[in-house]
Structure 1
Amino acid sequence: MASGKAETAMAEKTGRALKKGDHLFLVDGSGYIFRAYHALPPLTRKSDGMPVGAVAGFCNMLYKLIEDTKDEFEPTHLAVIFDAAAKTFRNDIYPEYKANRVEPSEDLRPQFALVRDATRAFGVPCIEKKGYEADDIIATYARLAHEAGARVTIVSSDKDLMQLVNDNVDMLDTMKLKTIAREQVIEKFGVPPEKVVDVQALAGDSTDNVPGVPGIGIKTAAQLIGEYGDLETLLARAGEIKQQKRRENLIEFAEQARISRRLVELDNNVPLEEPLEGMGVREPDPETLIGFFKDMEFNTLTRRVGERFNIDVDAIPAAGKHALITDGALAAPAGEEPKKEKQTVARTARGGTPGAVPKGIDADFNDANYVAVTALADLDEWIARAREQGFLAVDTETDSLFPMQARLVGVSLSLLPGEACYIPLQHGAGGGLDFADAGGQPQIPLKEAIARLKPLLEDPSILKIGQNLKFDMTVLRQHGIQLKGLDDTMLMSYALDAGVHGHGMDELSELHLGHKPISFAEVAGKGKAQITFDQVPVDRATAYAAEDADVTLRLWHILKPRLVAERRVTVYETLERPLVSVLAEMERAGVKVDKAVLARLSGDFSQKMAQYEDEIYELAGERFNIGSPKQLGEILFDKQSLEGGRKTKTGAWSTDADTLEALAAKGHELPQRVLDWRGLSKLKSTYTDALPEYINPETGRIHTCYSLASTSTGRLASTEPNLQNIPVRTEDGRKIRTAFVAEKGNLLISADYSQIELRLLAHIADIEALKKAFAEGLDIHAMTASEMFGVPIEGMESSVRRRAKAINFGIIYGISAFGLANQLGIPRQEAGEYIDRYFKRFPGIRAYMDDTRDFAHKNGYVETIFGRRIHLPAINSKNPAEKSFMERAAINAPIQGSAADIIRRAMIRMPQALADAKLAARMLLQVHDELIFEVPEKEAEKTSKVVSRIMSDAAAPAVALTVPLDVDARAAKNWDEAH
């Protein structure tokens, strides 16, 4: 929609042929529909419940495109292109093309026809062609416009369209406000646009079921095309490829690659009826557009168009052409038969109550609606409104990512979508800059603001909505505020979509709101020039911080109803939300680390490394840089001619751990010594040298940060520093734990679940022999060996037990005969016989694995015994290696995830149990199946009993396990002795 001079210019250009200097915009309408549907909240028409979310999103996106591009790009011609039907000429080439595409949801299908009506209501040509994809139509129009000398912009981010980019044709990703030209195509594919089809032909595409060549991905394909020039040359010279498997696949699947190329190459000669001349940009008829919007009950869009054309929208009636379809015929894309349904369509598939529309969720993100609160009277007004409403979104801004060291710089609040404020508190403090009165915006003194906010934030009856609230909770706790009554959008997303995508705010905003938030770099700079947030001017800080609160509130409106609709409430309410405050207190507590012990260990490791270095030089016959993989490879494989070497893509010898371990297993001393040296080097650099840097100068303790939503199975992750990966299998690794100590007069208690994943396997797979052994307290590995190999438990050789142990744990992770052979140092055939024998002896395990695998393939997810859903989006991948990996993950996830859920349940109950027993113990760390506490010496025994009881009973009453959960709890002065 244009105005002023632009209107006149557009009127002159309408209805004439393209010429040099014109600019054609081709919108990928099908992409717009699905992006709107999946990225925006579920909406239904209030009057009758008809699903209109995709239509609303499409209209907003088209409206914004027209408005945003009229000045910068000055399009002269515009059209929206749609897919006409599922079947195209490509299905004649390859019947399985797009065979694995999921049918559109029942609430989306009726909206396809409505979106086309919306396009026409805007006065924009709506073009489709039976037998062809939208991409082919776009390719044809782009060619015709290019030949006419006009510029072309394809509005899409679809990688399949990138082959069309040239000097006169580019792409525009409106979600990311990013232009895709030749440079961006090269960045994505590793080749220029004209060679993209060759790369895609080799790599294939699981989404469209383009087969490609097995074992070749985008990077490898780009490398091969870069080297050989094009696909046909590569296939003709495939025999020259050095890598055996790659060479064999290129030869065997050459014809499949050629078919794939025909599938991915766009047809730019589609016979089209609609000429370019009819695509001239024109103003829509406001009455037609408003009539359509009124039919859809899009009040915000109706108001916008009325203001744009300065007309009274009340005087314009609804079009009356889009009544709810109740006779069972759902609208379908052109070329498809309408699908019959017995009931009225109402959107419930992606959450929310049919007919429920979150108020104002589609409001524009506008900096003008974000205010800086710099007076107490204004702050009091926001607080009063929050109390009246009963919920608000809250976010903190700090000068550090470490919550225990961060200074509170400001707080942002949001009460309604599109309306938020930022309360600057410590801008300019200590930074050498003074923004206290920047732009006439004084800051509220920190103590006064805290005094006002504290009652609100501590009131459990007022819901505080945040994104990763654990961070904010820890920061606010430093100022005496105990945040109570919370909802966390990150954890809602995690409970709903673990394994599907990430759960960071920016990603969720783009996914669900179609909005890319302001990045930190935009307000604080990058690299060495980056400033801390307290140095950011208040006006820029307000736009950034208030938007975060606004985004969070909108995400809550979208995700909260989905918890109910998708039956994820129990997972969120029992496993996610209650753990936030528990982890926040653990992080605040931290753990004491003895610097002197670390210093001594660092010195010991240095001396031992020096000894290893002397031995390595002697074995090598010369001095070299042990840390250089290149030099080490030359010593091992060029000078000493050891067998078993392999070269990397760069042509250098590989000296990774697997290679060195294989050589050491053959009796070669040099690679073993290098492994020993590397192990000590990592211990020294990662722990003994690095851990002192993490000791908080004020508390004298290390405060690790726990991530609740970083794994798909529910396991917690520890960062800054990672205290969950300290090695315990080697003597030197265990020494690191001796530096973790209790304060004077206290002890550390380590409480560890015994073989919890094997116990859960016995319960889930219903293996009577294993359940009986656990119930009787038998040595499970010895029992397994006895069952498998027919040897008595008493007097069993350790090697026999070790093999059974390796199989027991390997089965959980889907170990192969090859993996077990490597682990035990036995032939692969023998390892395979062990696994076969195991499954014959415990047939329930094979049945569990088969049933779980089948369920995952059918549903795309698996679940823990507590209902946590772990999505496996690539479980049906056409890539055999990826598919196999996901199948192993599917088998393991319910077991590992259930174990993670159990310890979460124990952690959530622990603080109250300790308080009820009047014990002063503090929970400090969680390391997978282990909890570490600091406790007064005189309370150690009683605390151990309470901790063991809570951990053992953690599954109840939700799940009645058929195996006991045993807990080993020990107390000592340091972590190693307690473990």
Structure 2
Amino acid sequence: MTPPPDTAVLIDGHALAFRSYFALPPLTSKSGEPTHAILGFMRQITRLMRQKSNQVIVVFDPPVKTFRHEQYEDYKAGRAEIPADLPAQINRIRAIVDAIGLPRLEVGGYEADDVIGTLAKKAEAHGMNAVIVTSDRDSYQLLTERVKVLTSDFKLFGPKDVLEKYGVSVEQWVDYRSLTGDASDNIPGAKGIGPKTAAKLLQEHGSLDEVIARAQDGSLEPKGTREKILSSLENVYKSRDLSCMVTDLPLEIEMATHVGAGDPAALDALLSELDLGSVRKDLGALRGPSGVAAEPEPEPESLAREVPNGEWRTPVAGVMWGYVLSREDDLTAELLGAATADGEITRTAPLEFEPVEEEAPEATSPPEEALFEEAASGKKTKSKAKVKPKPEPLGHVDESQFVGQREVNAAGAKALATHLQVRGLKVEPGDDPLLLAYLLDPNNTAMPAVAQRYLHAPWPSDAASRAALSSQLWDLLLPQLDEARLKLYHDIEKPLARVLARMEVRGVKLDSAYLRGLSESMGARIQTLEAEIHQHAGRVFSVSSRDQLEAVLYDELQLSTGRKTKLTGKRSTAVAALEPLIDEHPIIPALLEYRELSKLRGTYLDPLPNLVNPRTERLHTTFAQTIAATGRLSSLNPNLQNIPIRSAVGREIRKGFIADQGFTLLSADYSQIELRLLAHMSGDLLMQEAFNTGADIHRRTASQVLGVDENNVSADQRRAAKTVNFGVLYGMSAHRLSRDMNIPYADASGFIERYFETYPGIRGYIDRTLADGREKGYVETLYGRRRYVPELLSGNRNVREAGERLAYNMPIQGTAADIIKIAMIELDPLLMDLGARMLLQVHDELLVEAPIDKADEIAELIRSTMMNAAKLSVPLNVEVGRGPDWFDTK
């Protein structure tokens, strides 16, 4: 007989449904009913039900207002509106929970928190543990050694964690919340008292009552804190009343019991109607062959096959999978390890092996192939002696395992391939389940979340087990790709990984002496600016201190205050807030220059020379394929894609990127690719005509919108047209145009209105894209790359409008990303045949290192290949520049 449960799992139903709604991409049944919140909710419920010691109880907020709303009319007024398609899914969840036979509680006039608080106390009184599944931190006041909160990554959060993270005890939690407030519930707290101050006060004085008493008798220091508390006393007391949970509700529920009988027929009908076959399968696994509840498994459910602790094995016939434990740049930091498996892990003793000798590269081979020969072999002469390796710690890379391999499959295959390439092995990145997951949903950017989402399994800590799990993910995810995204994988992402691996290994040459000299001269200028700022302020202060700067600008110099920061309500000192004040006081231009130079020096000039690899004397970045939701590449460790090009000082940094001896740099840039794609995808004939006739698109736009002859368009008019041409892709408002162009709002509004009248196809494109996005739940590029945009259905206007801007921008920006990827794949072998090297990709630009005597030929090859990477209704235009350094190519 199964023993009674010893743990009450208390589910905040609304919180888990809300979290599940945003955890999965939009899904619907065959009839079109949204189901992603239901599916995510049930996955978590069944996972918790599989533990034999758990009694799962689901609690929902009642549909009516609670006593807290009566106490405080604005309680929870600041919360974002519930997505329009979520309430119906919550009602379905209620019905499924009832049909399963799980206890479901809702108490009129009280929140789910109060019911959960009461149940937690009941569980303790029955000698049970309690685990609370919620996103509300008010539950921290309930925590004891027997009552814990289950975090989103399935870790238990208890009293020690509260003390470590917030600096207060569980007993002080309500007092802490009374001081800090909670914006999500519109609990006011004490204005100006943040988490650190609140924790310090409670650490020093023990309780809120003592803090208030010290404030009232004048002994609380500092004076500013005392005044903040006294001026907010009413809100502090109100916050304490709102934060205290009720824990003594008269609930009739039997504790320490298993799942009830439920209604199997109703459950089957519900799951069939909603097309939730996977939920039926999960629930079926909890019952025996005759429908009787079976012995639950002690561990949470996982779709992953059992993976024992892995050890190294020699690759055998079949598919070999690998995993790199750390993707710190192998050329600048020690790689922590990798391991292989062919789907299943077996234990084998270390084997003797005979190193396979490869022929020495010829002098004409591309330099990167021989670049790390010495590092790979350990010495310049080759040895034929047999080697018996010592057993290595788990996760260590044994390069001999890959000798003879031509590609390696892994989650992050490019990382493992580059690790091996720098050791002289010719191994290419093979199949990669992380790329599959990213194509399924660009929110899938890292393996821990992917493993949890698709296998309901934690990401293992050892490399060999990760390799096995990667193999399982590959088998699971591949069939889920539709034809377009399968083509994206095979034709773009997988071959691109091979191109990027070579680029990472090659690196780019830096003139470190130049960058250090530029840093020194910039440092001198920064010191001069700091002295000027102090002179304008009339006193010395820390320019880098936000609070000191705020006092100088707005209290002492009395400059007009602009926007306030959302979180703190303080007067903003950000660049965007200072720029409108540039003519008010000479301190502002000095501050802006000081900020720019300090950022450039700290972000680029000082770090970059230190990141040059001493073996290669080149800088090696990592190109990430699975970070940007649009499909664009990202550059990491260091990030070379954000080197400024708009400011003259920022462009000076590019002079430090130089060609190797005997080579020159070629910079190839798609000109106005996003506008050309807009013309193609919108079908606007007038814009297409401008590009097809080679017109200056901004001058042509100004002429057509303003009704003036093209030859008479002024520089300001062209600039306004350029601003709108590019700004329309990002939802530019009349307010923004008015501010950027320093023109009256009425003029800016009229310009945008006439713009859409002139180019009706663009308005049509926006409307069609948003309609498709609302219907399908996603938007996509010309090549079928998707981005899910659930914000389009949000009831919150700000959230919805932000989602709309994302929705009609992504197909343009994502298609541009796809096109340059195609060009890179086509160019890579052609360039290598001519002895040239692709070095960097920065948005719409490629940087290539070419032999000087073939530079003209290679420049033309690059131009033609990039221009023909896509066939559109308007031509793609590519500008190629040449120079000894990156700056001079422009």
Structure 1 segment 565-604 matched on structure 2, within 5 A: 568-604=485-521
**8 Å CA contact 2:83, 2:795 repeated in 1:** no
**8 Å CA contact 1:424, 1:443 repeated in 2:** no
1:486 pairs with 426, 430, 450, which one?
Answer: 430
**8 Å CA contact 1:493, 1:559 repeated in 2:** yes
Following superposition, the deviation at residue 466 of structure 1 comes to 1.1
**8 Å CA contact 1:203, 1:221 repeated in 2:** no
Partner of 1:25: 8
**Structure-1 separation of matches of 2:533 and 2:63:** 65
Q: 1:553 and 2:471 equivalent?
A: yes
**Structure-2 separation of matches of 1:446 and 1:182:** 32
Following superposition, the deviation at residue 964 of structure 1 comes to 0.8
2:254 pairs with 252, 275, 289, which one?
Answer: 275
Partner of 1:662: 580
| 1:862-912 CA distance string (max 9 Å, x none) | 111111111224343444333322222222111111111111111111113
**Structure-2 separation of matches of 1:37 and 1:557:** 26
Question: Structure 2 counterpart of 1:453, which letter?
Answer: F
Question: Structure 2 counterpart of 1:25, which letter?
Answer: A
**Structure-2 separation of matches of 1:940 and 1:151:** 76
**Structure-1 separation of matches of 2:280 and 2:505:** 41
Question: Structure 1 counterpart of 2:414, which letter?
Answer: K
Partner of 1:851: 768
| Partner secondary structure for residue 762 of structure 2 | helix
Structure 1 segment 716-731 matched on structure 2, within 5 A: 716-731=633-648
Following superposition, the deviation at residue 977 of structure 1 comes to 1.3
In 2 relative to 1, CA 716–270 (structure 1 residues): closer, same or farther, beyond 3 Å?
A: farther
**Structure-1 separation of matches of 2:305 and 2:394:** 32
**Structure-1 separation of matches of 2:415 and 2:454:** 23
| 1:532-567 CA distance string (max 9 Å, x none) | xxxxxxxxxxxx222322332232233222224x86
**Structure-2 separation of matches of 1:446 and 1:412:** 5
Structure 1 segment 699-718 matched on structure 2, within 5 A: 699-718=616-635
Partner of 1:156: 133
**Structure-1 separation of matches of 2:494 and 2:466:** 20
**Structure-1 separation of matches of 2:57 and 2:817:** 48
- TM-score, with length taken from structure 2: 0.74
**8 Å CA contact 1:361, 1:554 repeated in 2:** no
Following superposition, the deviation at residue 97 of structure 1 comes to 7.4
**Structure-2 separation of matches of 1:650 and 1:106:** 37
1:688 pairs with 590, 605, 608, which one?
Answer: 605
**Structure-2 separation of matches of 1:753 and 1:567:** 25
Partner of 1:240: none
Partner of 1:969: 880
**CA RMSD, Structure 1 to Structure 2 (Å):** 5.2
**Structure-2 separation of matches of 1:415 and 1:857:** 42
Q: 1:331 and 2:268 equivalent?
A: yes
**Structure-1 separation of matches of 2:698 and 2:750:** 18
Following superposition, the deviation at residue 391 of structure 1 comes to 2.0
2:323 pairs with 395, 403, 410, which one?
Answer: 395
**Structure-1 separation of matches of 2:245 and 2:753:** 47
**Structure-2 separation of matches of 1:269 and 1:614:** 66
Question: Structure 1 counterpart of 2:139, which letter?
Answer: M
1:921 pairs with 836, 861, 873, which one?
Answer: 836
Partner of 1:372: 311
1:100 pairs with 85, 88, 111, which one?
Answer: 85
Question: Structure 2 counterpart of 1:394, which letter?
Answer: G
In 2 relative to 1, CA 562–886 (structure 1 residues): closer, same or farther, beyond 3 Å?
A: same
Partner of 1:142: 120
Partner of 1:893: 810
**8 Å CA contact 1:817, 1:828 repeated in 2:** yes
Partner of 2:289: none
Partner of 1:522: none
Structure 1 segment 152-551 matched on structure 2, within 5 A: 152-159=129-136, 162=139, 165-167=142-144, 170-173=147-150, 176-181=154-159, 184=162, 203=183, 269=249, 272=252, 274-276=253-255, 279=256, 331=268, 338=270, 346=277, 362=303, 369-373=308-312, 379-380=313-314, 383-384=315-316, 387=317, 390-397=318-325, 401-405=328-332, 410-416=337-343, 442-443=391-392, 450-455=399-404, 457-458=405-406, 464-484=408-428, 486-498=430-442, 500=443, 502-517=444-459, 544-551=462-469
**Structure-2 separation of matches of 1:759 and 1:778:** 12
In 2 relative to 1, CA 553–189 (structure 1 residues): closer, same or farther, beyond 3 Å?
A: farther
Partner of 2:824: 907
**Structure-2 separation of matches of 1:674 and 1:717:** 30
| Partner secondary structure for residue 712 of structure 1 | coil
| Partner secondary structure for residue 372 of structure 1 | coil
**8 Å CA contact 1:788, 1:838 repeated in 2:** yes
In 2 relative to 1, CA 571–627 (structure 1 residues): closer, same or farther, beyond 3 Å?
A: same
Partner of 1:536: none
**Structure-2 separation of matches of 1:349 and 1:199:** 47
Q: 1:756 and 2:693 equivalent?
A: no
Partner of 2:649: 732
Following superposition, the deviation at residue 157 of structure 1 comes to 4.4
Q: 1:772 and 2:721 equivalent?
A: no
In 2 relative to 1, CA 632–847 (structure 1 residues): closer, same or farther, beyond 3 Å?
A: same
**Structure-2 separation of matches of 1:766 and 1:204:** 44
Question: Structure 1 counterpart of 2:458, which letter?
Answer: K
Q: 1:741 and 2:680 equivalent?
A: no
In 2 relative to 1, CA 362–773 (structure 1 residues): closer, same or farther, beyond 3 Å?
A: closer
**Structure-1 separation of matches of 2:869 and 2:127:** 69
**Structure-2 separation of matches of 1:406 and 1:974:** 27
**How many residues are matched?**
778
**Structure-2 separation of matches of 1:106 and 1:391:** 46
Question: Structure 1 counterpart of 2:416, which letter?
Answer: D
In 2 relative to 1, CA 443–631 (structure 1 residues): closer, same or farther, beyond 3 Å?
A: closer
| 1:260-292 CA distance string (max 9 Å, x none) | x89x988974653x434xx268xx9xxx99xx9
| 1:465-501 CA distance string (max 9 Å, x none) | 3111211111011223233472112211111111x4x
**Structure-2 separation of matches of 1:761 and 1:826:** 26
Partner of 1:953: 868
Question: Structure 1 counterpart of 2:815, which letter?
Answer: S
**8 Å CA contact 2:338, 2:416 repeated in 1:** no
**8 Å CA contact 1:197, 1:265 repeated in 2:** no
**Structure-1 separation of matches of 2:703 and 2:803:** 32
Question: Structure 2 counterpart of 1:466, which letter?
Answer: A
In 2 relative to 1, CA 736–856 (structure 1 residues): closer, same or farther, beyond 3 Å?
A: same
Following superposition, the deviation at residue 504 of structure 1 comes to 1.4
Partner of 1:247: none
The runs of 5 or more residues in structure 1 that have no matched partner are 3-9, 16-22, 43-50, 67-77, 117-125, 206-211, 231-249, 293-320, 333-337, 351-359, 374-378, 431-439, 520-543
**8 Å CA contact 2:484, 2:784 repeated in 1:** no
- Work out the percentage of aligned pairs sharing the same amino acid: 31
In 2 relative to 1, CA 503–606 (structure 1 residues): closer, same or farther, beyond 3 Å?
A: closer
| 1:70-122 CA distance string (max 9 Å, x none) | xxxxxxxx6322479x985679999x978531766999999868854xxxxxx
The runs of 5 or more residues in structure 2 that have no matched partner are 28-37, 70-75, 202-207, 210-231, 282-300, 353-376, 379-388
In 2 relative to 1, CA 54–884 (structure 1 residues): closer, same or farther, beyond 3 Å?
A: closer
| Partner secondary structure for residue 629 of structure 2 | coil
Following superposition, the deviation at residue 614 of structure 1 comes to 4.7
